[in-house]
Every structure is written in structure tokens, then in C-alpha cells.
Amino acid sequence: MNDNSFSTKPSTTPTHVVWHHTDVLEGRKDVPLDVERRLDTLHLFGVDVMSTGDVLRYFTEFGPTYVEWINDSSCMWVGGRG
């Protein structure tokens, strides 16, 4: 009896799942030109999978900081050297 249900060929089925559902992610929202500028603040977009701790760790060398979340995809990192 010849059983051909098993193959030695590499599988073309992905072994991992890539999270890429753009309908779940927040869209980019540009700031109007007449908004007052904050020189101690950076706007970060695309931080959907980052936590507040992740953002703060990324900027640890810049002194005391905090994060203002706008939505799930955007936040404002506020900090400075003094």
C-alpha cells in the first residue's frame, strides 16, 4: 500500500501569523498649522504595540519624561534635559 498523504517537500503554509489588519489601527491625524508648538515634545505615530514603559525606556537618556496618549497609535513624548 502506497500512502502519499505525507510529503517531504517544504510546506508553503506560513508557520507564523503576521498581525496586519489596517482596519484595526488608528489612522494618522495631522496637527493643524495654527497649533502652538511645544519645543519639549515629540509626536510619535505608529506606537500601536508599544506601552508607556516602552516609550519611556526608548528616551531614558533625555532625563525626566512622561507620555501623553492621543489614541492607540499616537502619543506625545514630553521631556528634556533640565
> Cα separation of 43 and 74, whole Å?
7
Does residue 22 form part of some domain?
Answer: no
CATH number (domain holding residue 72): 3.30.70.330
Cβ atoms of 31 and 43 within 8 Å: the answer is yes
Q: What is the pTM of this model?
A: 0.61
Q: Could you tell me the residue range of the domain that residue 57 belongs to?
A: 41-79
Question: What's the structural domain count of the chain?
Answer: 1
pLDDT of residue 20: 52
Given a cut of 60, whether residue 3 has pLDDT beyond it is no
Does residue 4 form part of some domain?
Answer: no
Does residue 70 form part of some domain?
Answer: yes
> Cα separation of 12 and 82, whole Å?
55
| Cell (9 digits) for 56 | 519611556
